[in-house]
């Protein structure tokens, strides 16, 4: 029954790309020419293991080009790992190129095409060349020429290559000759064939300790032909000295089979190091005599102790039943790999839920009012079970942010070459977890911000030296959890934002008036306005002022905010706050008229009641109030949403100060209700998205409550007010 191995290709590609990522990350951690700290053996081991894994998989699934390439790569890595080949930037670069090349090859193969030899041949040659140069430089003799054919050397260096060649032959020939190949390696004089074989087998006493059972080997021999087994018990000691775990028997085996010596050797392949073995091809007459003597002995003493191990060949050959295996169906939907611990936790939680449910069921069976307390207990238990279950289910979608961060060291490295700048990136908090969906969407904005920091932030080396800064600029990228949020920070020690230029540009774009004095924070916020760029030269790295507004919009779409701070001459810092997941939020329930709305707690600054004297009327029918030093506009939610309120007077209502994308407004509502976690449901599944709302949720009584998207709300419902305040 042929098994279609192509069903495992998807998994192979997935894991190979992962391995390549691992190789890349670790390669980037290898020391560069400037620093001299020793190579982390762990990094090299990881790189080696990743290459090794791709090699194993590609050979198995017959992607020969990849298998051969990774073999050369692996050989070089092994030399490095053993210290025979010294690491230097040239090698690191070639290795990085190899990673890229493999990625390309695998992508081509994934699309069911064959990579052209011109794609990988030059690099493969370069790797072989490196192998030759560096191994000979460090003193090991190695005339390594991958194509040189018949190398039978036995020193360990050559062995590796040699093994590789046989490996290559196997894969390229695409045959089953592999088994023979191995056997030939171990048999000095193969190809002896015959019909009558006398085999003496003297295993060492500890042979059983490796799980090798002589009986099984005899059974295998019996599959070759007619086998007669004679045990030699001469070495068996008396019972009181007997070590039951030691094998003290020795055997003579008479095999009548038309076979070759290597076939017999193969049976003993695994115990060659633990036995004395002789295999003789004998004449028919000799064989018959030996056979006769054994049979005679066994008939003389039919139940004797000398020959309990004479078995007929057929008896030993039993085959296990074949069961029908269910075919695993290949799947194309995006998958998520979940830590087994997380799954185990879920199973435990469901177990608890079932216990609670059965307890409640029992109470419900014949309920009487005196069981009320029990019912309450049960329900609160149910609540806590449900909450825990919910938390852990959401955990399944959480992945470490390293999935996104990992690409940056390489990007920074490549960009610094392109920009002729010296930059190092320090990453911290890469294990911080984030929802998979958010992960997929935060990548591009971060790429943009880091490119920006490198392009516009970090100065050229001479410039930095002139300013008394170290030649190499530093970008710090970090992530951590804060409350229900993930915070991502990008700091650089570059030039910082030029306030005057920002101001000039803002005046040019008509965002502010020339004589306006606006606070630093708000000034910097202007860089996120569309079409805003102050970079003097336009480079192909971060383009032409396109982006920061897009970055901000993308982050806002994920429910996040972005802030920038900067000190001219010594760098900028960008801080992104994002929810951990899009599926759930901590909400404040509020009431306006007969409607209940939910405001994300993370958007709420504070809530307060205003007195008449706190309210300042501004042009038209607008009011603001002073919150510490800031003028905050009052937005009547009932007006914005066109509902009938209970309270129309500001002084009777409650003001909730919310903040979105750096703007604060005071939302006027009838009253505050409770706070609770809500599951966010999209309005779009059956309807359309509405301005100022991020979705809806279902409350405990089954009714729907709308969730206010504070950023969108401010954008859509209080834009005019906002502009006026900035200009004031």
Partner 1 sequence: MSNQLIEVPESKANNDLQDDIFDGEQFLGFVVNNEFYGINILSVQEIRSWQACTQLPNAPEYLAGVINIRGDIIPVIDLGIRLGMNAVKPNKETAIVVLNVIYSGTHKKIGAIADSVFDVFEIDPDNIKAVSETIGNIDDKFVKGLCQTQGKTLVLLNVEQLLDLTEVANHYAKVVAL
Partner 2 sequence: MTRILAVDDSNSIREMVVFILKDAGFDVDEAQDGQQALQSAQKTQYDLILSDVNMPNMGGIELVQQLRQLSSYRFTPILMITTESTKEKKLEGKKAGATGWIVKPFQPEHLVATVKRVID
Please tell me whether residue 178 binds partner 2 under the rule CB under 8 A: yes
Interaction residues for partner 2, span 207-226 (CB under 8 A): 208-213, 216, 220
CB of 15 vs partner 2, minimal distance in Å: 5
CB of 129 vs partner 1, minimal distance in Å: 56
Q: Which of 566, 569, 554, 480 is nearest to 525 (CA)?
A: 566
Please tell me whether residue 583 binds partner 1 under the rule CB under 8 A: no
Q: Which of 269, 64, 99, 31 is nearest to 173 (CA)?
A: 64
Instruction: Determine the size of the site formed for partner 2 (CB under 8 A).
Output: 61
Please tell me whether residue 642 binds partner 1 under the rule CB under 8 A: yes
Burial 315-350 (b: 16+ CB within 10 A, else e): ebeeeeeeeeeeeeeeeeeeeeeeeeeeeebbeebe
Considering CB distances under 5 to 8 angstroms, the limit depending on partner class, which of partner 2, partner 1, none binds residue 703?
Answer: partner 1
What is the three-class DSSP state of 269? helix
What's the rounded Cα separation, in Å, for the pair 635 and 718?
7
What's the rounded Cα separation, in Å, for the pair 63 and 67?
6
Strand 473-482 relative to strand 423-428: parallel, antiparallel, unpaired? parallel
Please tell me whether residue 621 binds partner 1 under the rule CB under 8 A: no
Figure out which of the listed residues 646, 716, 722, 724 binds partner 1, where binding follows CB under 8 A: 716
Figure out which of the listed residues 97, 136, 167, 677 binds partner 2, where binding follows CB under 8 A: 167
- For the record, the structure tokens of 555 come out as 């982050």
Please tell me whether residue 706 binds partner 1 under the rule CB under 8 A: yes
Q: What is 91-139 written as a DSSP string?
A: HHHHHHHHHHHHHHHHHHHHTT----HHHHHHHHHHHHHHHHHHHHHTT
Figure out which of the listed residues 295, 346, 615, 690 binds partner 1, where binding follows CB under 8 A: 690
Token look-up 């190129």 returns 97
Let me know: does 7 contact 330? Beta carbons within 8 Å.
Answer: yes
CB of 97 vs partner 2, minimal distance in Å: 24
178 or 507: whose CB is closer to partner 2? 178
Figure out which of the listed residues 87, 359, 550, 683 binds partner 1, where binding follows CB under 8 A: 683
Estimate the share of the chain in helix, then strand, then coil, as percent rounded to the nearest 5: 45, 20, 30
Considering CB distances under 5 to 8 angstroms, the limit depending on partner class, which of partner 2, partner 1, none binds residue 642?
Answer: partner 1
Token look-up 């759930």 returns 584
Considering CB distances under 5 to 8 angstroms, the limit depending on partner class, which of partner 1, partner 2, none binds residue 212?
Answer: partner 2
CB of 220 vs partner 2, minimal distance in Å: 6
Q: Which one-letter DSSP state was computed for residue 330?
A: P
CB of 162 vs partner 2, minimal distance in Å: 8
CB of 56 vs partner 1, minimal distance in Å: 44
Considering CB distances under 5 to 8 angstroms, the limit depending on partner class, which of partner 2, partner 1, none binds residue 61?
Answer: partner 2
Figure out which of the listed residues 320, 617, 686, 703 binds partner 2, where binding follows CB under 8 A: 320
Figure out which of the listed residues 51, 101, 267, 696 binds partner 1, where binding follows CB under 8 A: 696
Please tell me whether residue 69 binds partner 2 under the rule CB under 8 A: no
Q: Enumerate the H helices of 301-424 as residue ranges.
A: 313-316, 340-365, 372-396, 402-405, 407-419
Figure out which of the listed residues 65, 171, 603, 654 binds partner 2, where binding follows CB under 8 A: 171
CB of 604 vs partner 1, minimal distance in Å: 19
Residues with Cβ within 8 Å of 49's Cβ and at least 6 positions away in sequence, in order, are none
Binding segment toward partner 2, per CB under 8 A, in 316-324, 527-535, 612-620, 646-654: 316-324
What is the three-class DSSP state of 586? strand
The alpha carbons of the chain give a radius of gyration, in whole angstroms, of: 38
Figure out which of the listed residues 17, 31, 56, 338 binds partner 2, where binding follows CB under 8 A: 56
- For the record, the structure tokens of 203 come out as 């295993």
Q: Which of 412, 454, 407 is nearest to 571 (CA)?
A: 454
What's the rounded Cα separation, in Å, for the pair 545 and 108?
35
Helix/strand number for the chain, H first, E second: 23, 22
Figure out which of the listed residues 239, 241, 328, 514 binds partner 2, where binding follows CB under 8 A: 328
Strand 630-636 relative to strand 663-669: parallel, antiparallel, unpaired? parallel
One character per residue 266-305, x = contact with partner 2 (rule: CB under 8 A): ---xx--xx-------------------------------
Q: Write out the residues near partner 1 by the rule CB under 8 A.
A: 595-596, 640-643, 681-683, 685-688, 690-693, 696, 698, 702-706, 716-717
**Residue numbers at the binding site for partner 2 (CB under 8 A):** 1-3, 5, 7-9, 11-12, 14-15, 46, 49, 52-53, 55-57, 59-62, 67, 156, 159-160, 162-163, 166-167, 170-171, 176, 178-179, 182, 185-186, 208-213, 216, 220, 245, 269-270, 273-274, 319-326, 328, 340
């Amino acid at each position: 029954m042929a098994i279609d191995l192509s069903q495992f290709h998807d998994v192979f590609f997935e894991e190979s790309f992962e391995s390549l990522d691992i190789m890349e990350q670790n390669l980037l951690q290898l020391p560069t020419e400037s620093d001299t700290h020793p190579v982390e053996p762990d990094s090299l081991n990881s790189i080696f293991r990743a290459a090794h894994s791709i090699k194993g998989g590609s050979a198995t699934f017959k992607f020969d080009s990849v298998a051969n390439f990774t073999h050369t790569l692996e050989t070089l890595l092994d030399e490095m790992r053993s210290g025979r080949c010294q690491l230097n930037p040239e090698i690191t670069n070639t290795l990085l190129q190899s990673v890229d090349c493999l990625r390309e090859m695998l992508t081509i193969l994934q699309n069911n095409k064959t990579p052209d030899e011109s794609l990988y041949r030059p690099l493969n040659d370069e790797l072989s060349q490196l192998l030759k140069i560096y191994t000979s430089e460090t003193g090991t003799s190695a005339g390594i020429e991958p194509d040189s054919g018949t190398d039978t050397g036995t020193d360990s260096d050559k062995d590796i290559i040699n093994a590789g060649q046989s490996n290559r032959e196997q894969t390229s020939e695409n045959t089953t000759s592999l088994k023979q190949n191995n056997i030939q390696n171990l048999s000095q004089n193969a190809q002896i064939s015959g019909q009558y074989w006398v085999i003496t087998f003297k295993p060492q006493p500890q042979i059983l300790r490796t799980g090798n059972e002589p009986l099984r080997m005899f059974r295998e021999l019996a599959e070759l032909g007619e086998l007669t087994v004679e045990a030699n018990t001469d070495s068996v000691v008396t019972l009181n000295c007997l070590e039951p775990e030691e094998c003290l028997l020795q055997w003579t085996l008479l095999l009548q089979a038309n076979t070759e010596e290597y076939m017999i050797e193969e049976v003993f392949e695994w115990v060659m190091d633990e036995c004395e073995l002789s295999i003789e091809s004998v004449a028919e007459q000799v064989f018959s005599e030996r056979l006769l003597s054994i049979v005679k002995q066994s008939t003389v003493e039919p139940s004797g102790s000398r020959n309990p191990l004479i078995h007929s060949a057929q008896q030993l050959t039993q085959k296990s039943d074949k069961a029908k295996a269910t075919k695993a169906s290949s799947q194309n939907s995006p998958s998520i790999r979940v830590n087994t611990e997380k799954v185990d936790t879920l199973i435990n939680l469901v177990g608890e839920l079932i216990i609670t449910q059965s307890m409640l069921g029992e109470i419900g069976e014949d309920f009487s009012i005196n069981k009320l307390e029990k019912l309450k207990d049960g329900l609160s238990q149910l609540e806590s079970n449900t909450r825990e279950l919910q938390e852990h289910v959401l955990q399944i979608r959480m992945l470490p942010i390293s999935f996104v961060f990992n690409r940056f060291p390489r990007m920074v490295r490549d960009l610094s070459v392109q920009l002729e700048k010296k930059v190092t990136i320090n990453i911290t908090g890469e294990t911080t977890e984030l929802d998979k969906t958010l992960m997929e969407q935060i990548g591009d904005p971060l790429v943009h911000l880091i490119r920006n920091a490198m392009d516009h932030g970090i100065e050229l080396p001479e410039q930095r030296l002139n300013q008394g800064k170290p030649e190499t600029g530093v970008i710090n990228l970090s992530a951590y959890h804060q409350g229900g949020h993930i915070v991502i920070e990008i700091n650089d020690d570059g030039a910082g934002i030029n306030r005057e230029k920002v101001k000039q540009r803002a005046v040019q774009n008509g965002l502010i008036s020339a004589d306006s004095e606006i606070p630093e924070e708000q000034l910097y916020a202007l860089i996120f306005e569309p079409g805003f760029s102050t970079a003097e030269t336009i480079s192909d790295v971060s383009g032409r002022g396109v982006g920061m507004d897009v970055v901000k919009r993308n982050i806002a779409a994920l429910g996040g905010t972005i802030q920038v701070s900067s000190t001219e001459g010594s760098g900028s810092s960008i801080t992104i706050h994002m929810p951990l997941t899009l599926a759930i939020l901590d909400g404040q329930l509020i009431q306006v008229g007969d409607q209940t709305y939910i405001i994300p707690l993370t958007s709420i600054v504070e809530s307060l009641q205003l007195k008449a004297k706190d309210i300042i009327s501004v042009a038209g029918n607008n009011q603001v109030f002073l919150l510490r030093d800031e003028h905050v506009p009052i937005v009547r939610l009932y007006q914005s949403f066109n509902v009938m309120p209970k309270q129309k007077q500001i002084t009777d209502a409650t003001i909730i100060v919310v903040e979105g994308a750096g703007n604060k407004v005071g939302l006027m509502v009838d009253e505050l209700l409770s706070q609770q976690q809500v599951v966010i449901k999209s309005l779009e599944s059956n309807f359309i998205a509405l301005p100022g709302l991020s979705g809806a949720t279902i409350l405990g009584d089954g009714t729907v409550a709308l969730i206010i998207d504070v950023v969108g709300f401010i954008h859509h419902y209080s834009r005019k007010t906002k502009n006026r305040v900035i200009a004031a």
